[in-house]
Chains A and B, each alone.
Chain A
Amino acid sequence: MARVMKAEEMRAAVDLRHAKTGLGVGAIAGATYGLVGVVGGIALAWDPLASATGIVTAALVLAALQMAVGGVWVTLFNVVTGREREIFRTLRTKPGLVVMAGSLFGGVLAMVGFWIGLSMTTPAYALAISAMFPIVGSIFAGIFLKERILRRVWLGVALAVLGAIVVGWTPPEGEYPHFYLGLVLCGLATLGWGLEGVIAAFGMDMVDPAVAVNIRELTAGLVFILFVFPFVVLYGGDAYATLGRLFTVGVSTGAIWLILLCAGLQATTDLTWYRAMNTTGVARAMALNVTYAFWGILFGFLLSRVSQSVVFVFNGYLVVGAIFIVLGVILVIAHPRELVKLRNR
């Protein structure tokens, strides 16, 4: 009897450790994504991205490189950890194709929608709308994955999202002739990221999260370069030329190293985000992910002290938003024991 009780205790401890690890990697995902934004912002201010023609060319080239080069980083990670054969095995199964489909929603559709939407509205609206993806993801996770989401967690997700909106808020100025179309495109980004999370989480029921990320990034990178860039060129952008200049101008300005760093951070954030979704559930992982808004501000402040490429403006929105995010996260991560069973089945 004592041995049975001891075994029960040991199981509870093992399960709790697994859940806490998930929360830890989810927190790392949010922080590193904040850093991706700051480093990516610096890269956009350096040639060749700074001199790219076309409104969203530089942003889309950066997004493509984050995915494609990030995919190479993740491949290296998988080779080092002995998972390289898993990549091809997974691609030959339906769960692998499911993960691929998820990457089209989040890695491509959402990114394109976000950047074009931002160009038609303002960063304030684009960031506010796209930051709502955890709510969309949580709703889908509840419906399709039967994820167990308590009222307290819902409140935490909502507060974290509200905080992310407030942190990024700047009163909009100017005239935008395609404003409402821009809002729809930003909504597409929200939908894309929300859907990606749920689709990927379903795929990861059967495949390793690190392999899923590998497929996600390489698929998205290739789709950008082969199918999105031609449209950028069609609308007057010099996507391929900018990509080419990265290996000439980019080497002399140092932008290429920033891109490598940015892609490495993207790989880290995606590896931890996917692992968190698999371990703590979509709702919690997304709430932790959206803390990037807070981390982005913090890293922006720190880097503004050492680099003139980073401009940091302090205002009251930052403080209020940060408080909302912290309160939201506390509600989300409280009682890790609830994470031992993620779904109602």
Chain B
Amino acid sequence: MLLPLRFRVLTELALNGPQDVTVILRALEPDYGRERQFKRAMLENHLRSLSAVGLVEDVNLSLDESGGLVRTVAITDAGRDLLKYLPKDWRARTASSPAAPVG
């Protein structure tokens, strides 16, 4: 079963460690790619909202070749704590995830 996109973004960071929005887009594309909501701007907005409430945090900032901002974000302890609200099968996946620790 697919998760709500925002929750899936948070879970993705728990499963695969710190990432930037381009990597997250690529990772979620097979599942959500055919939906009109699945746009870079939407994912950036979800990440921004997750960051404002302290569930993810920037761990690296850089500029890409065209001078655009690249934010690498990681899930925080508060974000990880919310994973207990995941459905059972997803909870099992995050529990066995080898993702790098925060920071």
* Chain A residues close to B by CB (< 8 Å): 3-4, 6-8, 10-11, 14-15, 18-19, 81-83, 85-86, 89-90, 92-96, 145, 204-208, 211, 278-279, 339-343, 345
Interface string of B10-30 (1 = CB under 8 A from A): 100000000000000000000
What is the CA–CA distance of A15 and B52 in the complex, to the nearest angstrom? 9
Identify which of A6, A85, A145, A340 contacts B63 (C-beta below 8 A).
A6
User: Are B4 and A11 in contact, with the CB atoms below 8 A?
Assistant: no
> Which chain B residues border A8 with CB–CB below 8 Å?
61
> Which chain B residues border A206 with CB–CB below 8 Å?
4, 6-7, 10, 82, 85
> Which chain A residues border B50 with CB–CB below 8 Å?
205
What is the CA–CA distance of A134 and B70 in the complex, to the nearest angstrom? 37
> Which chain A residues border B87 with CB–CB below 8 Å?
92-93
Nearest chain B CB to A137 CB, angstrom units: 16
User: Are B49 and A89 in contact, with the CB atoms below 8 A?
Assistant: no
> Which chain B residues border A81 with CB–CB below 8 Å?
36-37
> Which chain B residues border A11 with CB–CB below 8 Å?
58, 61, 69, 71
**A6-B63, A86-B37, A94-B85 are contacts. A207–B71 as well, Cβ < 8 Å?**
no
> Which chain A residues border B1 with CB–CB below 8 Å?
89, 92
What is the CA–CA distance of A205 and B50 in the complex, to the nearest angstrom? 7
What is the CA–CA distance of A90 and B7 in the complex, to the nearest angstrom? 9
* Chain B residues close to A by CB (< 8 Å): 1-7, 10, 35-38, 45-46, 48-55, 58, 61-63, 67, 69-71, 76, 78, 82, 85-87
Which interface residue of B3, B52, B62, B86 has the most chain A CB atoms within 10 A?
Answer: B52
Nearest chain B CB to A50 CB, angstrom units: 42
Q: Is the interface of B mostly helix, strand, loop or mixed?
A: mixed
User: Are A4 and B61 in contact, with the CB atoms below 8 A?
Assistant: yes
User: Are A342 and B48 in contact, with the CB atoms below 8 A?
Assistant: no
> Which chain B residues border A205 with CB–CB below 8 Å?
50, 53, 55, 82
Pairs A-B, 7 closest by C-beta atoms = A82-B36, A82-B37, A7-B61, A94-B85, A10-B69, A206-B7, A345-B54
Nearest chain B CB to A200 CB, angstrom units: 13
Identify which of B10, B51, B69 contacts A7 (C-beta below 8 A).
B69
> Which chain A residues border B4 with CB–CB below 8 Å?
86, 89-90, 93, 95-96, 206-208, 211
Provide 21 A-B residue pairs closer than 8 Å at the C-beta atoms, listed in order of the A residue: A4-B62, A6-B63, A7-B61, A11-B61, A15-B52, A18-B45, A19-B52, A83-B37, A85-B2, A89-B3, A89-B4, A93-B87, A96-B4, A205-B50, A205-B55, A206-B6, A206-B85, A208-B5, A341-B52, A343-B54, A343-B78
What is the CA–CA distance of A341 and B35 in the complex, to the nearest angstrom? 30
Q: Which residue of B lies closest to A201 (CB)?
A: B53
What is the CA–CA distance of A19 and B1 in the complex, to the nearest angstrom? 33
Q: Which residue of A lies closest to B38 (CB)?
A: A82
Q: Which residue of B lies closest to A3 (CB)?
A: B63
Nearest chain B CB to A16 CB, angstrom units: 11
User: Are B6 and A208 in contact, with the CB atoms below 8 A?
Assistant: yes
> Which chain B residues border A82 with CB–CB below 8 Å?
35-38
> Which chain B residues border A92 with CB–CB below 8 Å?
1, 87
